[in-house]
Each structure stands twice: as structure tokens, then as C-alpha cells.
Structure 1
Amino acid sequence: MTDRIPSFRRLAVALATAVLISAGTPPQADSDRGPVTNLPLPRYVSMKAHEGNVRRGPSLTHRIDWVFKRRDMPLQITAEHGHWRRVQDRDGAGGWVHYALLSGVRTVLVEKEMLAVRASPAPDAPITAHFELGVVARLSSCTLRWCRISANGYRGWAQKQFLWGVDPGEVLE
């Protein structure tokens, strides 16, 4: 009986050590996927609500750092925890927002003053409108260099490099 106790203790110590070593390391998973939704991370969404509290952590007990006040504003989700999503805006400012305040509808932020919006995805296509810097536009589709966007009844193709809310290599149909 005494021979078994030391081996049991060795096993218990080995297990406890393994638990302590792995406690600080998150489980190995596909780091490109959210642990809650299994959707890609990072990814773009938009604000569904007119206002959304941005918290320091993923719960109602965490302090509100600020409030997003622009419906349809594009945001980038960088992490997930339960019903909470860590988001950031174009300037990198962000925090934790409840998922109910977010929408999967894709929007973009115009990053160029008087951005030419064209009838087709070509630099010599006729201009259908000009969008001011800071306009939030709905995103319809994208090629490697152009995106079809619309805002306030105007629509057309804009060069992707002047839009925030879509990745450079992203293609949307």
C-alpha cells in the first residue's frame, strides 16, 4: 500500500503542475476564428443602434469609457466573450460592446475628401457622385481594387484604398 501512495502523489503533482502551466495559456484553437461565433477575427460589422456604450470589459459591471453615437458606423470586431464583442473604430478607439448593438450589415467610412463615385469600377468611368470625407456608406460588393457603395440615394463604385471598413484583399459578391 505504501508503494502506491508515492506514485499517486507523483501523479497528483504532475497533474497540478500541468494545470498551473497551462492556466495562463488559452486553449489552442484557430486564432482566426471567434470562440463564440466561429466567425473570422478580425471582421467588420456596423452599429445597429443610434447609441452604444463602450465598456472596459465584457460585462455590465465594467465601467463605460464612452458612447458610440453614430448608427451604421463601421467597426472591427477583434475579440469575443459570451454576448460581448471587443470592437474598434477607424482610429483604433474601442472597447467591449454588447452584441445586440451590432449588425452584420457592412458599411464603410469614406477617408478621402470629395471621393469620386463612378458608374463602373474603372478610373475613366463617368462620375455619378462625390462623397465627402467621413460619410458612412453601405457596402454592396468589392473587387480587389473597387467597392460598390451607396449613401443617401447615390450609388456607384469607389476605389477601395479610400474606404475604411473593408480589407485590402477582401472580395465581396
Structure 2
Amino acid sequence: MSGDRLTRPITRRRVLAMLAALYASPDIALADPLGPVTKLPLPRYASLKTDRVNLREGPSKDHPTKWVYERAGLPVEITAEFEIWRRVRDSEGVEGWVLHSLLSGRRTALVTPNKTGENSSIYVRASESADLAATLQSRVIVNIRNCDGAWCLIDGDGFKGYIQQVKLWGVYPNEKID
């Protein structure tokens, strides 16, 4: 019965059609996937815990080091989990694996990482009409205190104030953080 629906091979086209039907269905809520190890959402942001973190090509110390990060607090996006390893992506799109013990749940962000030479205004309140609290250069690492989906309260060495959320890498669009 080659024409039977149950014996037809699953093709890429059929899988895509099934996925499209699922997404189009209003009564099916698709949740963010959870990591198999931590049961935390994937993807999610974290930060580097130390000044020296090896980014490896695969999830073991047997895999070669692709890159060495030398900036504690740098935000990374965790995209996968495997045992004690986490696959991460940095603000430049570089991906690899790091030991989970070298990551922190502390939320940090980079200010306008792709706009070298651009300064960003930090305000005393969440409004462009508020007084200026500071001006930060591109790629400055900031601590995230909270975000309301449009503005984030941030701080760092010698400054504290609000910045528009879209100017940060390390926070998802419209994400709320308490």
C-alpha cells in the first residue's frame, strides 16, 4: 500500500508542513524548550564567572580550544546542555562549549556591542526626558538589576541608571527581569 498515509516516508517537506500546522493552531501553546540537565529554558543568558574561560569545539576537554575569553562578567547565551557542558554563543555569534562551573546566572549585558565608537546615554529615570546619569561607550559590560520590557536599570563601576533595553546584548527583546 504505497499510497497509504501510514507507510509514506517522512520527508523534510512533510515535517515542515506539520510544524507549520502546529504553529498555526491557536489552541496549542508551544513552550520554550527546557535544558535536559538543568530544566531551565533554552536559550537563556548567563555570564562568564572568571577572567579565563576556554571555549571548546565540543563538550569535553578532549576537544580543542577555539577561543579563550579573558573578561569575567561577559554575557553569553546558553543554547544547549550536555552533562557538565553548556554550548554558548557570544555577542559576535561565535559558538562553542564551556564547563558549566565557569558560568554564572548573574545577568550582565554589553552596551551597543555592534556599534563601535557609539556612546549610549544612561538616565536617572526610565525616560529620555530624564536627567543624564552617565554616558557609556560601546561594549561596556553592565550589571542588569531589572528590566520592564522597554528599559533596564543597570549599574557598574561608578554609574547607575536606566538604558533602553534595545541597546543591550544580554537581554531578550521585551524580556522582563525582576
TM-score (norm 1): 0.81
What is the aligned counterpart of 1:114 among 111, 114, 119? 119
User: How far apart, in 2, do the equivalents of 1:54 and 1:35 lie?
Assistant: 21
Alpha-carbon distance, 1:153 to partner: 2.1
Alpha-carbon distance, 1:31 to partner: 6.1
**Is structure 2 residue 149 aligned with structure 1 residue 144?**
yes
Aligned residue type for 1:68: Y
1:29-82 deviations in Å (ceiling 9; x for gaps): x76110000000000000001010111110111111111111100000000000
Q: 1:14 — aligned with what?
A: none
Q: 1:46 — aligned with what?
A: 47
Give runs of aligned pairs for residues 87-102 of structure 1, distance below 5 A.
87-102=88-103
Q: 2:78 — aligned with what?
A: 77
**How many positions carry a matched residue from both structures?**
144
**Deviant stretches of 4+, over 3 Å:** none
Secondary structure of 1:91's partner? coil
Secondary structure of 1:61's partner? coil
Alpha-carbon distance, 1:125 to partner: 0.7
Structure 1 or 2: more helix by fraction:
1
Aligned residue type for 1:72: G
Task: State the structure with more CA Rg.
Answer: 1
User: How far apart, in 2, do the equivalents of 1:136 and 1:55 lie?
Assistant: 23
Aligned residue type for 2:132: I
Q: 2:6 — aligned with what?
A: none
Gaps of 5+ in 2: 1-30
User: How far apart, in 2, do the equivalents of 1:124 and 1:31 lie?
Assistant: 36
User: How far apart, in 2, do the equivalents of 1:31 and 1:163 lie?
Assistant: 22
User: How far apart, in 2, do the equivalents of 1:149 and 1:45 lie?
Assistant: 16
Gaps of 5+ in 1: 1-29
TM-score (norm 2): 0.79
Secondary structure of 1:59's partner? coil
1:80-102 deviations in Å (ceiling 9; x for gaps): 00000000100110200001110
Give runs of aligned pairs for residues 57-72 of structure 1, distance below 5 A.
57-72=58-73
RMSD: 1.1
Aligned residue type for 1:84: W
User: How far apart, in 2, do the equivalents of 1:115 and 1:105 lie?
Assistant: 22
Aligned residue type for 2:167: F
Aligned residue type for 2:174: G
1:85/1:162 CA distance change after superposition, 3 Å: same
User: How far apart, in 1, do the equivalents of 2:137 and 2:108 lie?
Assistant: 15
- Point out the more displaced range, 56-65 or 34-43: 56-65
